[in-house]
Structures are given as C-alpha cells and as structure tokens.
C-alpha cells in the first residue's frame, strides 16, 4: 500500500494519497503538476534539486522548458504564501535549480477526507439560459451522445462561475464522473496535453478503482505522464514500456479510455482558458469531437472570443471547423444593470443571514 504517510512542514501538510495540500485542516488548492513539483521537492528537502532532475521526475517523457517550470513554481509559491525574494520554503539557486528549505517530518497519514465542499450560497444571476443550454448538453451526453461545447466570453465575464454552477448541479447526478483542467499562459513552450492530464488526475481521485485500471489498460502512455497516481515501482516500469510513444497512439489511447470509462457513467471534462492551450490539446479535442462511437461524454471548454485571437491561432480554426456540426458555441455576454442589482441584493441577503447565524 503506497504513501500511507504525510509530509509535514508546518503549517503545511502534504497528503500524497489524495494529492492534497493542507494548511492546518484547511485544504489549499493546487493543480496536479504544481502539486507534483511540490511533492518531489518536499521528498528531497534541504538539498539542491536541479532543473533537469525535476523535469525527469515530473515530465519523464516530455521536454519542458525552464519557462514552464517557473510557471508551476509560481503556483507553488502562491499556495505556500512564499516570497521568492525572502523564501521560507523554496529557494531559487540561480541557473541551477531549487532548494526546499524546511525540514520535513514524515508522519502517519490522516484518514482520507470525505468532506464535500459546500456549494456557493450566492445563486447564479443572469445566466439562466446559458446554464440551461449546458444542462441540456449534459442530458444529451447522459443519453449516449458525445457533446462538445465551447463557452466564450471576455476575461472576467463569468465563464468559470458558469462552469462551476453546472458542475455543482450535476455533481449529485448518480454516477457522474467530473474532471477539471486548466490551461496556463506561457511565454515559452507549453506542456502537451496539460489541461487534459489535470482533468484525468481529478477523474482518478474519487473513483480510482474504476478509472485508474481503465487508463492503465487503454491509455498507458497517459498514465506514464501522471506521477503519483499508481505505485512508484509500477510507474517506473510503465515509463520503460511506453517511452517514445507518438501523438497518434496517444490520441487513440485516450479516446478509447474515455469511451470505456463513460460506458456506464457519464464523464464530464471541463477545460478552462483554451486560448492558452497547447496545440496538442486542441488536436485531441478535434479528434474526440469527430469520433462517431457513442459515448456518455461531455466536454466543456472555455475561452476568450476567437475574434480577438490572431488569424492563425489554432483555437480559431478549431472552433470554426467544429461549431454547428460537431460542437456547440455558447457566448457569455455582460450582465444587465438589472442583473447586477439583483446579484448585489442577493449577496447582501446572504451576508445578513450569515451575520444573524453567527450572532445567534
């Protein structure tokens, strides 16, 4: 049985079994790759971990630039509330690598959390039609019809809140499997399939007895890029077996794996900020949308308006080719003055209720 211990570096505790970071008893959100980076450094404290060592440990079959590494390191520092100029946790050693500064205590692992995050107490306002369209797409996916929906809108317009509302509503549906991935803005080379790997890891966490065996059987090249999901020895052996696999094999594998995983329960993949996506992820979306095999699969991708993207941007081409035939477009517009007033009123009502409860 693997990873039955936690790594303690007060006030933080890292739980490798659930891929979760805690400050005291409070979960600290951290995406899959930044978590893997933090975990590796916490497992090798107080010594220099060179760039190449990190790359081999976390991206064993993929070349990743120093720029990508820095993006993830910023996420880890933000989660730890650490400052690069006066580090308490992660020190940068110029042109060489990083050093995890605190001593790390290995402690008995806490019991797996069964707490379900409470839904937002502030209702969605002004998005009734958009939410209905997404729920209709989910219903079609439940009926065995694969669905791809592109949700577009300006930055800050509420795309993520809309997706969050959908996922909160369908989370109570019997047997739904939800994976959520996030694209990251890069100035250099981006990691192939980054948001999809994030989504797959989140699929694995609550339903590992079904999802992990399916990925191991049908998509081993993907499992070889997800450290910490299976036992370390098995992971190292898998890397040896699938090293050097090409894009066509990866596309075929993940399509078959998702179809198997969705055979009895609908699978929802929410991929955010596709305007920052790597080209490989967009190629995969095109591949999944064009397959004719039935699947209980809903893919929802958010992005900024394609009209604002450069003419040769691959996302612009993808949306134009798929929309209307193999995918649906949903545009999130600005809230009306009435919507904003209603939203503020309801927030005030929620705040008053919370205040009254605390006084009582």
Instruction: Quote the pLDDT of residue 9.
Output: 94
- How is residue 308 annotated by DSSP? G
Closest by Cα among 9, 8, 31, 11 to 19: 31
Instruction: Quote the pLDDT of residue 338.
Output: 77
Q: What CATH code would you report for 128-331?
A: 3.40.50.300
- Which residue would you say has higher pLDDT here, 40 or 120? 40
3-state secondary structure (DSSP) of residue 102: coil
Per-residue confidence at 149, pLDDT binned at 50, 70, 90?
very high
Per-residue confidence at 173, pLDDT binned at 50, 70, 90?
confident
Residues near 17 by Cβ (< 8 Å), separated by ≥ 6? 2, 3, 4, 109, 112
Q: Which two tokens stand for residue 41?
A: 């450094």
- Which residue would you say has higher pLDDT here, 332 or 116? 332
Reply yes or no on whether the pLDDT at 209 is more than 70: yes
Average pLDDT over residues 294-322: 92
> Model pTM greater than 0.85?
no
* Residue-wise pLDDT tens digits, 16-62: 877 889 988 788 888 888 888 999 999 999 999 998 888 888 877 66
Rounded to 5 degrees, φ, ψ at 239 are -60, -40
Reply yes or no on whether the pLDDT at 356 is more than 60: no
Rounded to an integer, what distance in angstroms lies between the CA atom of residue 57 and that of residue 189?
18
Question: Of the CATH numbers 3.30.590.20, 3.30.70.270, 1.10.10.10, 3.40.50.1400, which one belongs to the domain with range 5-108?
Answer: 1.10.10.10
Reply yes or no on whether the pLDDT at 184 is more than 90: no
Average pLDDT over residues 233-257: 87
Residue range(s) of every CATH 3.40.50.300 domain in the chain:
128-331
Residue range(s) of every CATH 1.10.10.10 domain in the chain:
5-108
The strand pairing partners of 93, in sequence order, are: 97
Average pLDDT over residues 337-344: 70
Instruction: Quote the pLDDT of residue 134.
Output: 95
204, 178 Cβ separation under 8 angstroms: no
Rounded to an integer, what distance in angstroms lies between the CA atom of residue 238 and that of residue 232?
10
The top-scoring range by mean pLDDT among 53-62, 148-157, 229-238 is: 148-157
């Amino acid at each position: 049985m693997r990873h039955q211990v936690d790594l303690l570096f007060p006030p933080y505790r890292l739980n490798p079994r659930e891929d979760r970071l805690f400050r005291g008893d409070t979960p600290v959100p951290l995406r899959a790759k930044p978590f893997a980076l933090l975990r590796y450094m916490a497992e090798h404290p107080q010594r220099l971990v060179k760039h190449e060592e990190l790359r081999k440990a976390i991206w064993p079959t993929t070349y990743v630039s120093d720029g990508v590494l820095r993006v993830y390191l910023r996420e880890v520092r933000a989660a730890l509330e650490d400052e690069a100029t006066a580090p308490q946790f992660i020190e940068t050693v110029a042109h060489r690598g990083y050093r995890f500064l605190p001593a790390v205590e290995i402690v008995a692992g806490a019991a797996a959390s069964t707490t379900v995050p409470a839904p937002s107490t502030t209702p969605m306002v002004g998005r009734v039609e958009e939410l209905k369209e997404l729920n209709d797409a989910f219903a079609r996916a439940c009926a065995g019809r694969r669905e791809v929906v592109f949700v577009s809108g300006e930055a800050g317009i509420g795309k993520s809140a809309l997706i969050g509302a959908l996922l909160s509503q369908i989370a109570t549906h019997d047997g739904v499997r939800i994976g959520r991935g996030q694209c990251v803005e890069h100035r250099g080379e981006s990691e192939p399939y980054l948001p999809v790997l994030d989504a797959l890891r989140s699929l694995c966490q609550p339903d590992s007895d079904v999802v992990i065996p399916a990925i191991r059987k049908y998509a081993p090249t993907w499992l070889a890029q997800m450290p910490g999901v299976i036992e370390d020895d098995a992971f190292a052996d898998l890397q040896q077996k699938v090293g050097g696999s090409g894009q066509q094999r990866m596309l075929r594998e993940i399509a078959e794996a998702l179809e198997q995983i969705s055979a009895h329960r609908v699978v929802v993949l929410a991929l955010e900020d596709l305007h920052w996506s790597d080209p490989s992820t967009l190629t995969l979306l095109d591949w999944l949308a064009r397959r004719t095999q039935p699947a209980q699969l809903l893919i929802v991708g958010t992005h900024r308006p394609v009209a604002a993207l450069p003419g040769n941007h691959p996302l612009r081409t993808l949306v134009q080719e798929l929309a209307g035939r193999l995918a649906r477009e949903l545009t999130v517009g600005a809230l009306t003055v009435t919507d904003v007033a209603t939203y503020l009123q309801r927030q005030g009502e929620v705040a008053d209720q919370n205040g009254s409860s605390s006084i009582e």
